[in-house]
Structure 1
């Protein structure tokens, strides 16, 4: 019985804390998503170039 009461209190407190959260708007989420996608693309290209370079170096050495 005590577990049920503490669980209910936990969910009530969690809900109360979620009401205090400031959520991002659609424009902000879209802007951040574009930044993240751009960063992922740039890092993918960078890692690919480094991988090709190191692969060529290792093939020359071996």
Structure 2
């Protein structure tokens, strides 16, 4: 009974890995130029969002400083 469960488990893992391999063949990978442009977009976006959060944090800190005093 235990061996039947193990065989089922091993078959499931094998089937899963075969499906992963099949799906990975369907993926369209970006070339170097696309990858570079995507990376630049992500870095610029991160800096913009970080700047907005920094401005809002400073504003709220100033407002709370005036309220608490």
Q: How high is the TM-score relative to the length of structure 2?
A: 0.77
Query: What are structure 2's unaligned runs of at least 5 residues?
Result: 1-6
User: Which of 11, 14, 25 matches 1:19?
Assistant: 25
Taking the aligned partners of 2:26 and 2:10, their CA distance within structure 1 comes to: 25
**Does 39-48 or 7-16 show the bigger shift?**
7-16
Deviations 1:11-46 (A, max 9, x none): 122211211111111111110110110011111111
Query: What are structure 1's unaligned runs of at least 5 residues?
Result: none
Structure with greater Cα Rg: 2
Runs of 4+ in 1 over 6 A off after TM superposition: none
Q: How high is the TM-score relative to the length of structure 1?
A: 0.84
- Equivalent pairs, count: 62
Residue in structure 2 matched with residue 5 of structure 1 by the alignment:
11
**Does 5-14 or 19-28 show the bigger shift?**
5-14
